[in-house]
Structure 1
């Protein structure tokens, strides 16, 4: 039985991870009384007791927690963006490369991918590796997410009706997911990123428009299918599966991410990823990585 401590289990991601692990006979959850969840001694005792700790914390707090536990044998999964391009941390996208599962399974420190980044990297990395997208190509990424990805304050704004039905944000090109997109998609140029939020709790669509310049919709689709042929939770769909409408909430409650290529060879195309920002984009990926690290079935609880 693996002992697992969720540091920050009261947040949205932490709660969903706890729900996914509840009732599993192979997991013993290490808990801290809510009155002591910020007590350094209580937290250190929990880290020391656990085999794996999952950090569901803001970036600064996640860095502090990782340093706090550095001298302990506990293995760590960080669900924040604090360590996604840091040395010594395995990137927790299990389907990304042929050796990703093995690296995650053996790692002492694993960084969970970001939700927008999961969609963008899933689309771009295989096509860069196949030579169908140049690392220096000028790219744009457009995306919409459910409001749960914005944390407690944004969730409260939507629930009280203060937030608009839809808004675009982070247009200054400093979104925290951009560095990991560049690093893990193996880009040398920095994409222009325009994320947005809609009035729905969870779900996500990530889009990468492309001038095809000799590439074809079928060729791009085939390259994605070849890359993810043995993937557990990444599916490559045909444009015809969507009947002209791609719905961001279609995979809510699952750990799947669906990829597709749309468009016309003479006019241009759009790479599209659909996922649950709280599933494959957060808690689902964390549980998948935990399963790999403790030697459980990769899809257990998912």
Structure 2
């Protein structure tokens, strides 16, 4: 009898594989959270307007600042411990003085993630998601009073009504509809020229993954699908989503597009996908960091 764990492991996706131990025991202990901030090996990743500070070329890396480099009132979150136990944090703080003193440059987080190795990009994804959430949740959704950072950055508390608020991750399905030997790709109006990708949409309340995949494909492309299969997942910190990648079988190839969502869609062959992934096609595939790239590659290379 086949075990549940005999099936192939999901492919590795971008923005995953962080080497940090998130150390929940420290986050739950206020005195421990304060103590690790004072350790001489503690370092801070600086995000200025949610743009990370990277070291200079030729091989950019995350820039880790000392505590003395961070303004005392800058919003700061605990990211975790390195494999050798050193504390790592992220702070929303100006970077101009650091650049003047040490060099480096600010970069859009998406562009930065594409330059970093996967584990480093995962640290950036964690930092950006947390700091973006704190920037948007300065007031209590229950009573409107100001909230304060708690649990080393993994909660906010309201002293007026005693409510606790926690960072949220929004689930998003991203799916490749398959019909015979073709897969469906589309492009949104705001995409860069020639870029096509898998279709995607947010899960709605009271809906499971399979239902969301079927609904989104029907709403955006007018197709009926069955046999939804999960492939892999990926955090997407723009601002804070979890991308859930799936395949689905389409009953027919006829399309009826929602032009508010898609300006174009097409059925493509494996050869066309491989050409796009290799940069020689007549359309562009998403970059390797994106789970849409993983979806297309997994389908195109399947026997």
TM-score by length of 1: 0.26
TM-score by length of 2: 0.26
Greater fraction helix:
1
Query: Which entry has the higher C-alpha Rg, 1 or 2?
Result: 2
